[in-house]
Structure 1
Amino acid sequence: MTITAGRRLLLVHAHPDDESIGQGASMAKYVAEGAHVTLVTCTGGEEGEILVPELAHLASDQEDRLAEQRKVELANAMKALGVTDHRYLGGFGRYRDSGMAWHPDGHAVAADQVHDNAFWRADLTEAADHLVAVIREVRPQVLVTYDQFGGYGHPDHIQAHRVATYAAVLAGVPSYREDLGAPWTIAKTYWGAMSAERMREGLRKLRDAGDTTTFEGMDPDGPLPPFITPERLISARVDARDYLEAKLDALRAHATQITTDGPFFALSNNEGSLAFGVEFYRIATGTPGPLDEDGFETDLFAGL
């Protein structure tokens, strides 16, 4: 593939739907502005829960064909966002969704039983090499992935972080795997984030509206899960509210995994759109660009 766009963004995610939840609006915005957006998905999402009763037979403990359905859903989500460059790490089916279990402390951990080809068991160098080849082909200036805890502890999110971080280093080494292409150093790496301040604001609106089930157990004034980040630790705030409908369409495309009914998504019709159309990032490598009056970068490519 010959890529001529001046700005190139690479996102590395664990499962189909993670991208639309985390950065769907930003992806649509950058595509619309002429940037080349590449999404690499590391697994087929085989272990996901199925919200569509008539497709329950696809579950991993039945026909085990959920990945085929989620592949279609992801393709439809990418159409909604305008993304034309999407790849599976090592090819579709190379790495399987590892599944997860819940720790008593409320975060995800690896399941007791994991398939042999589960992403959690992937050889780090082998998996990174698949991504090195993509990096050297696409030559992105910006990489987006998860933090070291994968947001909430899911083993595939953690592994995606490890693979993306390692591949970014290896891709820039001139003497490493010359067969994978010419070396390329990524200028900036970001970890997706959710603003604690925005989350508390959204929770208050939900609770004031009488909704006690969405994010059940989360108190607007109490402790928040590990994937929520105080804004003092957040580097970039991308306002992509003009692309909110594209993000919502992408979320709807992931029909087996996400339902957009209920009070939480209803907030998107008013000031609650901040919860969907404004997306946050922590800078991990590189130099931040100019900041706005609130101390945020407003563009992931700022300063490049």
Structure 2
Amino acid sequence: MTADQRLLLIHAHPDDESIGQGATMAKYVKEGRGVTLVTCTAGEMGEILVPELEHLAADRDDELGTHRRGELADAMAALGVIDHRFLGGFGTYRDSGMQWHPDGHAIAADDIHDNAFWRADLTEAANHLVAVIREVRPQVMVTYDEFGGYGHPDHIQAHRVATYAAALAAVPSYRTDLGEAWDIAKIYWGAMSESRMREGLRLLRDSGDSATFEGLDPDGPLPHFVSSDEALAAAVDGTDFIDAKMAALAAHKTQITTDGPFFALSNNVGAEAMGVEFYRLAKGVQGPVGPDGFETDLFAGL
């Protein structure tokens, strides 16, 4: 990694990266910045939206992870990202699966695989990431908040592993065999703007669309993954790269359908809704901000 500015993203499953930060990734690649993605599992327990591929499911051929590995490669090609790794190597950790709590958020499934990421030893998993951090030496890292956005156990575990690994990687005397110590200057949690979410919902409902984000009221309670604008630190405008983001989403064919909520939101509300990606600052000092009070660049101030 020879770029002067380097971004590291930690995600739980293939497709999470394209949904949350696809535009940012494409923008930074185009600008010559280094972008490294670490995916913690292959998403073996995901639901399959393509009928002819249902045989790949965990309770049948159990080959979805290998298929999604290919989808992820296609998505990264669409975004221009050439540095992608699976945590510990492909197949080290398996998708833990999930179930829905009556309150509307995800929780761990009743039965999970022996090597499910949710069961991973925290230090062991963190050490895999310490080696990557010390190799890539990123100034900025992006992952989830402590709830994993919506409660998925793998998202929560990714947050824990990323947070612990960042701390361990900065200790000069810790595991010198994993490389020279490196302190990540800024850490962000991916987020969704409350004002943008309400505006988008309102436009969708006014257009007669009641199916997209079904059950959400523009003036009512919003899911946990939506953050108040006061909690946000950065808004990266990647609207010039919306085509790349949408192509990356389309590459995840088993998980995202072209008439699903992400594509429908773009078609009905406009590229800005999908192209501007928001972040909460978890470590570091907020740099110079734009007129709306947000950083426009995750490297601001560095």
Tell whether the structures are fold-level matches, with TM greater than 0.5: yes
Gaps (5+ residues) in structure 1? none
1:76 aligns with 2:65: no
Number of residues paired by the alignment?
302
**Shift in Å, 1:272:** 2.3
**Shift in Å, 1:263:** 7.1
From 161, 164, 179, the counterpart of 1:181: 179
- Report the residue type matching 2:209 in the other structure: D
Residue 221 of structure 1 corresponds to 219
Residue 60 of structure 2 corresponds to 62
- Could you tell me the TM-score, scaled by structure 2's length? 0.98
**Shift in Å, 1:213:** 1.3
Residue 25 of structure 1 corresponds to 23
1:278 aligns with 2:264: no
Residues in 2 aligned to 1:168 and 1:74: alpha-carbon distance in whole angstroms: 25
From 162, 165, 186, the counterpart of 1:167: 165
Residues in 1 aligned to 2:265 and 2:59: alpha-carbon distance in whole angstroms: 35
Q: SS at the partner of 1:283?
A: strand
Q: SS at the partner of 1:144?
A: strand
Residues in 1 aligned to 2:247 and 2:20: alpha-carbon distance in whole angstroms: 14
**Shift in Å, 1:98:** 0.2
Contact 2:204 2:269 in 1 (8 A): no
Cα 1:152–1:110, aligned 2, differ >3 Å: closer, same or farther? same
From 129, 132, 139, the counterpart of 1:131: 129
Residue 116 of structure 1 corresponds to 114
Residue 298 of structure 1 corresponds to 296
Contact 2:200 2:269 in 1 (8 A): no
1:146 aligns with 2:120: no
Query: Can you list the C-alpha shifts for 1:136-157, whole angstroms capped at 9, x where unaligned?
Result: 0000000000000000000000
- Report the residue type matching 2:147 in the other structure: F
1:37 aligns with 2:35: yes
Q: SS at the partner of 1:168?
A: helix
Gaps (5+ residues) in structure 2? none
Cα 1:256–1:276, aligned 2, differ >3 Å: closer, same or farther? same
Residue 194 of structure 1 corresponds to 192
Q: What is the root-mean-square deviation in Å for CA atoms of aligned residues?
A: 1.0
Residue 156 of structure 1 corresponds to 154
1:204 aligns with 2:234: no
Residues in 2 aligned to 1:96 and 1:269: alpha-carbon distance in whole angstroms: 34
- Report the residue type matching 2:40 in the other structure: C
Percentage of matched positions with identical amino acids: 75
Contact 1:202 1:272 in 2 (8 A): no
1:101 aligns with 2:99: yes
Residues in 2 aligned to 1:263 and 1:226: alpha-carbon distance in whole angstroms: 18
Note the 1:205-284 alignment, pairs <5 A.
205-261=203-259, 265-269=263-267, 272-284=270-282
Contact 2:169 2:181 in 1 (8 A): yes
Q: SS at the partner of 2:61?
A: coil
- Could you tell me the TM-score, scaled by structure 1's length? 0.98
